Amino acid sequence: MEIGAYIESNRSALLAWGEAVCAEVSGEHGSLLKVPASVRVKDPQSARAKQLKKAYGDPTREMTDLVGVRFVVLTSMDLAPIRAQLERSSSWECLQARDPDHEIERAPETFGYQSHHYEVRQPRSAGVSLCCEVQVRTLLQHTIAELSHDAMYKATQKVPSQATRLVARSMALMETTDELLCRAMEAVREAEAPALAVQRVACELTRTLSDGNRTDLLEDLLSSYADKITGSSAEDLRSFFRENEFILDRVRDRQGEGLFSYPSAAIVAYWLVGRLERRVNQHWPFPGSKPDLDKIFSDLGIAA
């Protein structure tokens, strides 16, 4: 069947397959996406033009981008989870058609287009084998790819060598920028790790209480005492509660009262008072809960 007619007669099936791929990946990793993922079916006229240029023997199978979806993440650190799902999912058969990492290994001196391309086909058991082209790239890669595609790939005249060079330089800068951003984000994650560990333990200790997993005030509380939170703080919090099991009962009895309506924050407040005593007053972030703090001091037998 002529490729344009094939697309028209199979548009619904192509769209459905692209939407299935898009939904599975977005459902698992939607929080990583910085541009809403959408499905597009190839324009029949564009497909006809591509067939004239490529002369595929069977364009309905060899033209792998009859339907496509693109996933755009913030930095290269976020590429791996989506790539792993594409490669391991049992919902389809997946072939990586373009791997920029391998291209860099082969030609490290070259700075060019970067985007991971996958051919995602329906499993053979489906009886048909529609292919969805999936592109996975960072926001920086997406920006430069779109700009260079519009300015160079669609150019009606020969692209000046200076323009090609400028795009290559921008891609080199993109790699450097991405690396610096990844390093900055990793540094932030390392700095946040102790506080996040305390959060997890606090929510675990209060899981039997109503709203025990809420972290609203807890994040503000930990931020106010950030210089006191270390890599050993989470285990210290756990030990503190083994030594003071009565605290959970006090929090339970006072639920609905000020700070005690946020159990995870309340037990961390107990821990801070137990370890810092009156020094807690210097950075207490909730002026409206001072009476609750006084009760915590009293429960622990520490003068406020």
Tell whether 48 and 152 lie within a shared domain. Answer: yes
List the structure tokens of 221.
């509380």
Question: pLDDT by residue (tens digit) across 74-98?
Answer: 999 999 999 999 999 999 999 999 9
The confidence band for 192, taking pLDDT boundaries of 50, 70 and 90, is very high
Tell whether 15 and 140 lie within a shared domain. Answer: yes
Q: Classify residue 185: in a domain, yes or no.
A: no
* Short-list 260, 284, 247, 268, CA closest to 194: 268
Tell whether 198 and 143 lie within a shared domain. Answer: no
Tell whether 205 and 125 lie within a shared domain. Answer: no
Tell whether 153 and 219 lie within a shared domain. Answer: no
Give dist(CA 292, CA 289) in Å, integer: 5
Mean pLDDT of the chain: 92
Tell whether 154 and 204 lie within a shared domain. Answer: no
Q: Classify residue 17: in a domain, yes or no.
A: yes
CATH at 97: 3.30.460.10
Tell whether 26 and 129 lie within a shared domain. Answer: yes
Tell whether 19 and 109 lie within a shared domain. Answer: yes
- The one-letter amino acid code at 29 reads H
Tell whether 10 and 147 lie within a shared domain. Answer: yes
Of 145-149, 182-186, 233-237, 288-292, the range with the lowest mean pLDDT is 145-149
Tell whether 66 and 148 lie within a shared domain. Answer: yes
Per-residue burial over 25-43, b = 16 or more CB atoms within 10 Å of its CB, e = otherwise: bbeebeebbeeebebebbe
Range of the domain at 23: 3-159
Tell whether 153 and 59 lie within a shared domain. Answer: yes
List the structure tokens of 170.
């921008």
Q: Considering its fold, how many domains does the chain have in total? A: 2
Question: pLDDT by residue (tens digit) across 199-246?
Answer: 999 999 999 888 778 888 999 999 999 999 999 999 999 999 999 999
Tell whether 140 and 263 lie within a shared domain. Answer: no
Give dist(CA 210, CA 129) in Å, integer: 50
Per-residue burial over 254-265, b = 16 or more CB atoms within 10 Å of its CB, e = otherwise: beeebbbbbbbb
* Short-list 162, 163, 118, 154, CA closest to 137: 118
Question: pLDDT by residue (tens digit) across 252-303?
Answer: 999 989 999 999 999 999 999 999 999 999 999 999 999 999 999 999 999 9
Q: Classify residue 174: in a domain, yes or no.
A: no
- Given a cut of 80, whether residue 125 has pLDDT beyond it is no
Q: Classify residue 257: in a domain, yes or no.
A: yes
Q: Which residues contact 235 (CB under 8 A, 6 or more apart)?
A: 201
Beta strands per DSSP E along the chain? 33-35, 39-41, 67-73, 93-98, 116-121, 131-138
Indicate the pTM of the whole model: 0.78
The confidence band for 1, taking pLDDT boundaries of 50, 70 and 90, is confident
Q: What is the pLDDT of residue 212?
A: 75
The confidence band for 103, taking pLDDT boundaries of 50, 70 and 90, is confident
Give dist(CA 118, CA 79) in Å, integer: 13
- Given a cut of 90, whether residue 149 has pLDDT beyond it is no
Q: What is the dihedral of CA 5, 9, 15, 20, to 10 degrees?
A: -120
